[in-house]
Amino acid sequence: MTAIINSIPALEPLALPLLQQKKITASVLRLDAVHPVVSGNKWYKLKIYLAGAVRQNKKTLLTFGGAFSNHIVATAAACAQVGLQAVGIIRGEEAKQLSHTLLEARSYGMQLHFVSRTAYRNKEIPGAVYQKFLPEDCIVVPEGGYGQEGMEGAATILSEIDAGSFTHLLCAVGTGTTLAGLAHGAAPHQQVVGISVLKNNFSLESAARQLLPPHQQNDFKILHPFHFGGYAKNTPSLLQHMNEWFRLTGIPSDFVYTGKLFAAFTQLCTEDFFPAGSKVLLVHSGGLQGNRSLPPGTLIF
């Protein structure tokens, strides 16, 4: 299947005094810039599901997400581009004023179906949806693209670039699919480190492990202290670091995922987590659209 992304991602070396001081180097893989909507890791997690749907002549792709989900909007845009009807099962009652994310998903033709939080937790597909879309014509993609296909797609992130010389690969962790993909694609000498954006969700390790073959099950580490209050929560210090990071590097980040990744990276450097001589790859997994839910003026970019 032809790629729907516009370009191969750029690798941007960081020139930060802290790195020089600690005698390490680091680069950011700008997945945020590969497509205006299907940004970041989402294209990579979706591509094998999409190729499968097209190959099997499916008409509809159904998936799950919350009102601010990057996965929902990316899926809507990707489906529009490959000619699939997209259906989003959305967590919670329909709000009077839909989020930017959902309005945008709908503008790409995604049909939104709101379900109660309980029904969502059980990943129930409403009967009305079943009646509209024949199950045999429909492919179901789990929330966040979590699954074998998502993991294998994410593993191809590393084949976009000459990744072999990096000693550490870092990414933000939501479902663990991208992290598992990096662990799958990494060379044995590389340490794969995930920064969890969830508060004390220690089931992430097993979620990631489940996607990996037996010989790779311990090939990653997840760090939990960088949640800044929990999923989609933020603190003044997080927002301040995002602005400072932009001022120093020119790289924008989102407050749900990559802002926490970069803040964690700064902290880890300060604490000498990376031995001198380390070469760190930071995967910018995109998600900038989520910043639209912050009050205007919060961020300088």
Query: Does the footprint of ligand PLP cover residue 153 (CB under 6 A)?
Result: no
Task: Give the residue among 214, 220, 165, 154 at the shortest CA–CA distance from 191.
Answer: 220
d(CA 252, CA 203): 30
Q: Are 260 and 290 in contact (CB under 8 A)?
A: no
**Contact letters for ligand PLP, residues 133-152 (x by CB under 6 A):** -----------x--------
Q: Helix, strand or coil for residue 153?
A: helix
Using the rule CB under 6 A, which residue among 172, 211, 238, 280 binds ligand PLP? 172
Q: Which is nearer to ligand PLP, 18 or 161 (CB)?
A: 161
d(CA 179, CA 196): 10
Query: Does the footprint of ligand PLP cover residue 291 (CB under 6 A)?
Result: no
d(CA 58, CA 47): 15
List CB contacts of 188: < 8 A, sequence separation 6 or more.
Answer: none
Q: Which is nearer to ligand PLP, 60 or 285 (CB)?
A: 285
Least distance between ligand PLP and beta carbon 56 (Å)? 24
Using the rule CB under 6 A, which residue among 60, 75, 99, 177 binds ligand PLP? 177
Structure tokens, 116: 């109660």
Q: Are 99 and 67 in contact (CB under 8 A)?
A: yes
Query: Does the footprint of ligand PLP cover residue 174 (CB under 6 A)?
Result: yes
Least distance between ligand PLP and beta carbon 251 (Å)? 13
Per CB under 6 A, the segment of 22-30, 93-101, 267-275, 284-292 that binds ligand PLP is: 284-292
List of residues contacting ligand PLP (CB under 6 A): 40-41, 70-71, 144, 172-179, 254, 257-258, 285-287
